[in-house]
Amino acid sequence: MALVERLASAALIGLTVAPLVVKVNPNFNVVATACLTVYIGCHRSVKPAPPSETMSKEHAMRFPFIGSAVLLSLFLLFKFLPKDLINTVLTVYFFVLGVLALSATILPWIENSLPHSWNDTEHAISLHLPYFKSVEVEFTKAQVVAGIPGTFFCVWYVLKKHWLANNTLGLAFSIQGIEMLSLGSFKIGAILLAGLFIYDIFWVFFTPVMVSVAKSFDAPIKLIFPTGDLTRPFSMLGLGDIVIPGIFVALALRFDVSRGNVKRYFHSAFAGYTAGLVVTIIVMNWFQAAQPALLYIVPGVVGFVAVHCIINGEVKPAKNLHKTTSWSKHRVTRRRTEAKKSESLHCHQRCV
């Protein structure tokens, strides 16, 4: 884990727990927390091994329709079934997901603190699931250790539904989403964001569905920020407003890595995300009403990257980027070249 990523992680942890002891401006908290989460998730998405799957054009085009179907289904469930029953089922579901996501998020920190043998898959712990004898699950000792705090926060969330436990799980979901989800190209990313741009506007401005589900859905699908105001005790930011643009920003970072650049397009995409989020907060406070964040974030992220490509005359390379496999190979090849140079230098010094 790079130093800058460690510093960003420490800042995110500090900002998350700060409202417990001091009053933090909720507008600043929303922007800073979301930006730090995107920054961390993007850097964790850059790996030597290529992702096993990337989102295709067809998946990107279907995503808004699938999201609309899920959103409308939840709205109808909350309308016709007891809210407590639905939230109980969702709590159990998110408990399991939360343990896995939080454990995976803190695993790199745990691995660096434990002996190498604890990270070795040869010494993994095997577990056979009851009633599924053919299914065997393996955990390294480091993964088991990482699961302890993950389980603690999930139990705390189930029992108390405290905003800090909610945010801890929400941040883990967001970081893992950005780290694991991979867009096939900038074109696919633009299609996905354009579809969700329309999706967000429609369900927020033209129907009560989005706001109703967000208020009824008692699960860590949103970050909650204390305001200190009794009339409006919390501000909210949906995880989709972090993860969806976040995977596009991560794409820009991996594009930079593939070309050996110093995060040029990443800086543009990240600046666009930050600007869009700031505009969202300004408009929300001006009209005192919920805003579809993607309405402002999508033009910022896509627009900043598009302008950057046009100015540098690199529209074609960005357009022809199809899979992250070549990026990873480039990165591994570059590392091997550097290692060979270093080895040659040491040999030369010994010979001298």
What whole-number distance in Å separates Cα of residue 169 and Cα of residue 158? 11
Strands 234-238 and 222-226: antiparallel
- Start-to-end CA distance of the chain, whole Å, equals 35
200 as an active site residue: the answer is yes
Return the SS3 of 134.
strand
Of 120, 229, 241, 256, the active-site residue reads 241
Q: Roughly what angle, to the nearest 10 degrees, separates helices 26-45 and 264-287?
A: 150
218 as an active site residue: the answer is no
CA distances from 63 to 58, 68, 116, 195 (A): 9, 9, 41, 8
DSSP string computed for 233-300: -EEEEETHHHHHHHHHHHHHHHHHHHHT-SSHHHHHHHHHHHHHHHHHHHHHHHHTS---THHHHHHH
Of 200, 218, 229, 256, the active-site residue reads 200
- Catalytic sites, residue numbers: 200, 241
